[in-house]
Structure 1
Amino acid sequence: MKSTTTAGAKSTATKTTAARARGLSDRLRVKDDESPWSEAEIKEVRGILLEEIEVHRQELQLAEQELDDLLRASTDGAGDDQADAGAKTAERVHEIALAANARAGLAQAEHALEQLEAGTYGICENCGNPIGKLRLQARPRATLCMTCQQKQDRH
């Protein structure tokens, strides 16, 4: 009986996801020279974002664990020469940077998924124009069109 219930739940979830994708394909904006988003394209982008979220969560967990281990293993530094103290500091800084990068990537991927679900995915957060399907397929977390991204990179 459980397998039937599980299969039924999976079927319902699949139908719900497909219906949501159909509704999104009509609402997501594209550039004038691009075709509308297809259900398959939306499903692919959603899958990529979900995978990125999971990878960033794992990276963040690992980096935080490494940092915790470093902090627990470190003592007050008594007896360390300058090279040892510097190496420990550099290692901590590296782990902090890894955690920060994973946290930022996670936030970006979650934001993109929220936008996808809300039907606002693919709209430049600076100028309000469509970002472009090709750019989003290459970089699903993009929040700026190429013009705005280039302006931001210059500053």
Structure 2
Amino acid sequence: MVADTAAVLPVREGEDRWTARELAEVRATLIEESAALEAEIAAAASQIAEGDGADGAGDDQADTGAKTYEREHELALTYNARDLLNQAERAVQRIDAGTYGICESCAKPVGKARLQAFPRATLCVSCKQREERR
């Protein structure tokens, strides 16, 4: 399946076509990354749940503030990990569907080199720059 997909994936002018091996490596990397992120999210959720059990009785304002800051920081890291997990899973789905490497904004090739460096990319460099300027 990966071999068939690799043959039809778009590339930018001057880039070599995807090989089945290259695409399989990218897919395997994304799956490994997803598993690691799932473990990280589970560990963070467990840690956050443990923190919820503390009643905080007898804490002064500084202790309460520090605990609140730490909890918000852990939540932010968990949200970021979930976002990365969603991106990785979506990239695998795009590989499987044969739409990997097509810019979601302009429908031009994202670029093989860009995808090898950042396999979760869904926008070409031009569209990503435009998005960041907004």
Report the TM-score when normalising by structure 2.
0.96
What's the counterpart of residue 34 of structure 1? Answer: 15
**Displacement, 1:131?**
0.2
Looking at structure 2, the residues matched to 98 and 44 of structure 1 have their Cα atoms a distance apart, in angstroms, of 27
Q: 2:123 aligned with 1:144, yes or no?
A: yes
Looking at structure 2, the residues matched to 87 and 148 of structure 1 have their Cα atoms a distance apart, in angstroms, of 40
1:39-78, Cα deviation, whole Å (9 max, x unpaired) = 1111110111111101110111111111011111x21x43
What's the counterpart of residue 13 of structure 1? Answer: none
**Displacement, 1:31?**
1.0
Looking at structure 2, the residues matched to 127 and 65 of structure 1 have their Cα atoms a distance apart, in angstroms, of 41
Q: 2:70 aligned with 1:65, yes or no?
A: no
What's the counterpart of residue 51 of structure 1? Answer: 32
**1:134 paired residue among 93, 113, 116:** 113
**Greater relative contact order (CA < 8 Å, ≥ 6 in sequence):** 2
**1:109 paired residue among 88, 104, 111:** 88
Looking at structure 2, the residues matched to 94 and 31 of structure 1 have their Cα atoms a distance apart, in angstroms, of 40
Structure 2, unpaired ranges of 5+? none
Alignment-mate amino acid for residue 69 of structure 2: A
Structure 1, unpaired ranges of 5+? 1-19
Runs of 4+ in structure 1 off by over 2 angstroms are none
- Greater radius of gyration (CA): 1
Q: 2:79 aligned with 1:88, yes or no?
A: no
Matched position secondary structure for 1:80: coil
Report the TM-score when normalising by structure 1.
0.83
Number of matched pairs: 134
Looking at structure 1, the residues matched to 106 and 79 of structure 2 have their Cα atoms a distance apart, in angstroms, of 28
